[in-house]
C-alpha cells in the first residue's frame, strides 16, 4: 500500500508512548466544566458474581474470603470500583436476588466481619464498592412476607400486592420467571393471590406503602453508613404498579417493559430515595433499566431531576443475537444512546453481565483462531466509549460460553422454569435447547478460571456450576505471563482510559458509518482527539478514512502492526486500534 506512516505497535510500547503523546489528564480535563466531572463518570466498574469468583472454604461456592484473596488481582486490572451481585441472606431461588434479610450476609458467602474486611481491602486499594439493592421484590422467606401472608389484617399485609380470591381470578399479569408465565400465585392461607413479576419465591413489594419505602431507605442507609460507595437498583423500573390492573393487549408479554416500567409514582419514589439516601452520602446510583424510551431515561438520570446518576439501557444487549447480529444495528443503537445523552444525563456501557451470554461468544468470535483477538477488540470498545464501563468478571480474560446439552445441567431458575413452560406450550424443544445453550444466564456464571489446577483454581470442592473445559488454556495465570494476552490488553486499556479523560468525557463521532464490518469513531475533548478503529469481522478490510485531522500515534493495538497511509487503513480480522490525532 502507499506511503506507510508507521508499521509497528507492540502494545506495551504503544501504551508507554501514549503517556508522552497525550496531554496529561488534568490538562485534558480543562475542557470540561468542573461541575460535570464526577468520580462515578470516570469509574471503571468490575462486576463480581460472588458465587463464581473464588471459593475459600471448599464448599464449591465462591465467598467473601475468596474475593479478599483476589483483591490484589482486582487492583492489578486497573478498575476503580466493584459492583457485587447480592450477598445478603437468601434462600437462593434466584441466586441472591431473593433477599430474606437485607442486613445480613448469606451464610455461604461468609459473615459481616468478612464483609468489613473485604470492603476495607477494596478501599485500601483505591477501589469503591457498589452494592446491589433488590427491592422491587423480596424473598418469600423474608419476615415481612411471612407476616404479610399470615392474615389479611396483619400490619405487614400491605407490604406486598394481594388480590382476594373472592373477587375472582386476578387480571392476567406476565411473570418473567414463572413456569406458567403467571405473575399471580395463589396462597390458601388467606385465600388470596400475591403478585410476583419474577419467580413465585420473589413477591413484589408494594412501593405505594410509605412504610415499605422507609424500610428500604433505612436498609440503604445501613450500608452507606458502613461505607459502601454506591447502589445498583435491581429491576427498579418495575417498582411502581398500577394497582387498578387495567387489561393489557394480547401479546403484551413480548413488550412487557412498555407496560411494566415507569408507572406513576416511580419518579416520586426515586426523588424521595435521593433525598433520604443519595443526597446524604457521596454514593453513586445506577438503575437496571432505563425505562421505555429516551424521555424516561432522561427523567431518571438528568442531573436536575435529582433521582439517579445513571442507568443501564437494555437496547444494546437486546439486539437480536443468535447466530450473529447486525453490526449496523449495533452501531446505530450505541450511537443513538450516546448522542441522546451527550449533554444531559449519563449512562453505563456494558456488553455482558450475569444475565447474559459471555461477551466474546455473543459479540465476538469464540473460535480458537479469533477468541483472543476479538475479546481484545470488545474490551477496547467497552473502555473507549462514553459512559461508565461495566466489565464483567472473566471477560478481561475472554472467558467463553459453556456448552450444556441437557436441562439437568442448568442451575438458573429462568432456564429451568422456561424449559417447563416451553414444554407445556408444545414448543420445538430442540430449538429451545439450542437457543438456551447460546443465551442462558448460566453461560455467564461459570467459575472464574484462575489457573490450570483442579477446577481452574476456583474451588477445592465440587463447583456449584461446572468450570468451562477450556480452563487449561484460558486462565489468569497463563494470561498473566503473556504480554500479549487478553488480560494484559485489558490492563493497558484501563491505564489508557484513566490517563485520557478524552475517552471518558470526549464527544463521540461515528466515522465510516456505512462500513459493513468496521465500527469506528472519534473521541474529542478540547484539542485532544482519539480515533478508535474496530474491525468486527474475520475478514481483513482496507478502506478510506477521510478524516479531519491526522492520526499520528498508535496508542493501543491488538496486533503488532498497523497499515495506515494518509488516505487508507487496512485492518486485520478483529483488529482494534486507537490512534491519537493531530
Residues at the interface with ligand NOJ (CB under 6 A): 94, 97, 134, 198, 234-235, 288, 354-355
Full DSSP string of 123-142: HHTT-EEEEEE--SB--TTS
Least separation, in Å, of the C-beta of 200 and ligand NOJ? 13
Least separation, in Å, of the C-beta of 78 and ligand NOJ? 25
Tell me whether residue 127 or residue 415 sits nearer to ligand NOJ (CB atom): 415
Active-site residue, 288 included? yes
Out of 55, 229, 288, 366, the active site residue is 288
Tell me whether residue 65 or residue 237 sits nearer to ligand NOJ (CB atom): 237
Tell me whether residue 141 or residue 477 sits nearer to ligand NOJ (CB atom): 141
Q: Supply 376's cell numbers.
A: 481484545
CB-based burial label for 189 (10 Å; 0-12, 13-18, 19+): exposed
Q: How far apart are CA 346 and CA 344, in angstroms?
A: 7
Q: Which residue is nearest to ligand NOJ (CB)?
A: 97
CB environment 319-352: b (16+ within 10 A), e (fewer): bebeeeeebeebbebbbebbebbeeebbbbbbbb
Report the run of H or E that residue 222 belongs to, with start and end.
helix 210-226
Instruction: Using alpha carbons, select from 45, 47, 21 the residue that is nearest to residue 504.
Output: 45
Cell 412501593 belongs to which residue?
A: 207
> Which 3 state secondary structure label does DSSP give 232?
strand
Out of 55, 108, 234, 338, the active site residue is 234
Least separation, in Å, of the C-beta of 198 and ligand NOJ? 5
Least separation, in Å, of the C-beta of 256 and ligand NOJ? 13
Tell me whether residue 94 or residue 108 sits nearer to ligand NOJ (CB atom): 94
Tell me whether residue 351 or residue 511 sits nearer to ligand NOJ (CB atom): 351
Least separation, in Å, of the C-beta of 95 and ligand NOJ? 7
Report the run of H or E that residue 499 belongs to, with start and end.
helix 486-499
Other Cβ atoms less than 10 A from the Cβ of 186: the count is: 14
Tell me whether residue 269 or residue 521 sits nearer to ligand NOJ (CB atom): 269
Q: How far apart are CA 517 and CA 539, in angstroms?
A: 9
* Backbone phi and psi for residue 478, each to the nearest 5 degrees, phi listed first: -65, -45
Active-site residue, 234 included? yes
Strands of the sheet containing 551-557, edge to edge, are: 507-511, 518-525, 528-535, 576-581, 551-557
Ranges of beta strands (E only) in 369-512 are 388-392, 507-511
Least separation, in Å, of the C-beta of 133 and ligand NOJ? 11
Least separation, in Å, of the C-beta of 417 and ligand NOJ? 11
Q: What count of residues does the chain have?
A: 582
Tell me whether residue 62 or residue 573 sits nearer to ligand NOJ (CB atom): 62
Tell me whether residue 94 or residue 307 sits nearer to ligand NOJ (CB atom): 94
Instruction: Using alpha carbons, select from 49, 46, 95 the residue that is nearest to residue 74.
Output: 46
Instruction: Using alpha carbons, select from 240, 234, 363, 250 the residue that is nearest to residue 286.
Output: 234
* Backbone phi and psi for residue 62, each to the nearest 5 degrees, phi listed first: -60, 160
Q: Supply 456's cell numbers.
A: 481452574
Least separation, in Å, of the C-beta of 237 and ligand NOJ? 11
Cell 411494566 belongs to which residue?
A: 260
Least separation, in Å, of the C-beta of 486 and ligand NOJ? 25
Tell me whether residue 289 or residue 389 sits nearer to ligand NOJ (CB atom): 289
Contacts of 276 (CB under 8 A, 6+ apart): 217, 220, 221
Cell 468451562 belongs to which residue?
A: 468
DSSP 8-class letter at 438: H
- The answer to whether 156 and 148 have CB atoms below 8 angstroms apart is yes
Q: Which residues are catalytic?
A: 234, 288
Amino acid at each position: 500500500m502507499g506511503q506507510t506512516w508507521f508499521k509497528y505497535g507492540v502494545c506495551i510500547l504503544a501504551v508507554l508512548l501514549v503517556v508522552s503523546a497525550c496531554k496529561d489528564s488534568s490538562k485534558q480535563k480543562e475542557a470540561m466544566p468542573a461541575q460535570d466531572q464526577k468520580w462515578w463518570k470516570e469509574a471503571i466498574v468490575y462486576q463480581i458474581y460472588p458465587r463464581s469468583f473464588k471459593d475459600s472454604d471448599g464448599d464449591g461456592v465462591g465467598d467473601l474470603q475468596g474475593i479478599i484473596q483476589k483483591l490484589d488481582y482486582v487492583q492489578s486490572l486497573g478498575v476503580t470500583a466493584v459492583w457485587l451481585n447480592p450477598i445478603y441472606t437468601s434462600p437462593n431461588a434466584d441466586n441472591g436476588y431473593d433477599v430474606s434479610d437485607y442486613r445480613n450476609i448469606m451464610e455461604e458467602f461468609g459473615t459481616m466481619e468478612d464483609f468489613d474486611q473485604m470492603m476495607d481491602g477494596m478501599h485500601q486499594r483505591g477501589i469503591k464498592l457498589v452494592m446491589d439493592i433488590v427491592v422491587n421484590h423480596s424473598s418469600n422467606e423474608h419476615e415481612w412476607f411471612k407476616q404479610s401472608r399470615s392474615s389479611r389484617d396483619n400490619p405487614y399485609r400491605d407490604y406486598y400486592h394481594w388480590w382476594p380470591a373472592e373477587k375472582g381470578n386476578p387480571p392476567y399479569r406476565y411473570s418473567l420467571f414463572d413456569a406458567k408465565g403467571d405473575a399471580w400465585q395463589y396462597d390458601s392461607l388467606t385465600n388470596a393471590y400475591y403478585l410476583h413479576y419474577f419467580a413465585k419465591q420473589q413477591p413484589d413489594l408494594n412501593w405505594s406503602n410509605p412504610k415499605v419505602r422507609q424500610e428500604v431507605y433505612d436498609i440503604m442507609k445501613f450500608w452507606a453508613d458502613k461505607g459502601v460507595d454506591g447502589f445498583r437498583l435491581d429491576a427498579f423500573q418495575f417498582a411502581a404498579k398500577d394497582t387498578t390492573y387495567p387489561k393489557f393487549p394480547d401479546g403484551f408479554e413480548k413488550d412487557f417493559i412498555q407496560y411494566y416500567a415507569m408507572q406513576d409514582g416511580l419518579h416520586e419514589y426515586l426523588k424521595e430515595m435521593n433525598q433520604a439516601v443519595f443526597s446524604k452520602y457521596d454514593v453513586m446510583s445506577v438503575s437496571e433499566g432505563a425505562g421505555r424510551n429516551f424521555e424516561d431515561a432522561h427523567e431518571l438520570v438528568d442531573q436536575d431531576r435529582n433521582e439517579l446518576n445513571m442507568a443501564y439501557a437494555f437496547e444494546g444487549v437486546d439486539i437480536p443475537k443468535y447466530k450473529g447480529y447486525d453490526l449496523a444495528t449495533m452501531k446505530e443503537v450505541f450511537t443513538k444512546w450516546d448522542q441522546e445523552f451527550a449533554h444531559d444525563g449519563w449512562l453505563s456501557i456494558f456488553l455482558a453481565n450475569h444475565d447474559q451470554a459471555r461477551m466474546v461468544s455473543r459479540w465476538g468470535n469464540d473460535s480458537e483462531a479469533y477468541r483472543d483477538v476479538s475479546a481484545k477488540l470488545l474490551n477496547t470498545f467497552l473502555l473507549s466509549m462514553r459512559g461508565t464501563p461495566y466489565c464483567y468478571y472473566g471477560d478481561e480474560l475472554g472467558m467463553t460460553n459453556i456448552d450444556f446439552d441437557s436441562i439437568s445441567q442448568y442451575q438458573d431458575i429462568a432456564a429451568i422454569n422456561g424449559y417447563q413452560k416451553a414444554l407445556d406450550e408444545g414448543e420445538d424443544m430442540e430449538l429451545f435447547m439450542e437457543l438456551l445453550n447460546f443465551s442462558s444466564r448460566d453461560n455467564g456464571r461459570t467459575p472464574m478460571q484462575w489457573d490450570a489446577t483442579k477446577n481452574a483454581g476456583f474451588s477445592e470442592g465440587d463447583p456449584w456450576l461446572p468450570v468451562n473445559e477450556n480452563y487449561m488454556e484460558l486462565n489468569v495465570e497463563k494470561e498473566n505471563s503473556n504480554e500479549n494476552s487478553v488480560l494484559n490488553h485489558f490492563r493497558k486499556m484501563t491505564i489508557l482510559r484513566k490517563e485520557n479523560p478524552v475517552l471518558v468525557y470526549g464527544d463521540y463521532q461515528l466515522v465510516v458509518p456505512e462500513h459493513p464490518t468496521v465500527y469506528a469513531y472519534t473521541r474529542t475533548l478540547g484539542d485532544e482527539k482519539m480515533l478508535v478503529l474496530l474491525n468486527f469481522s474475520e475478514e481483513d478490510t482496507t478502506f478510506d478514512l477521510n478524516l479531519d485531522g491526522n492520526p499520528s500515534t498508535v496508542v493501543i493495538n491488538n496486533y503488532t502492526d498497523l497499515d495506515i497511509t494518509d488516505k487508507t487503513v487496512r485492518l486485520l480480522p478483529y483488529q482494534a486500534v486507537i490512534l491519537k490525532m493531530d
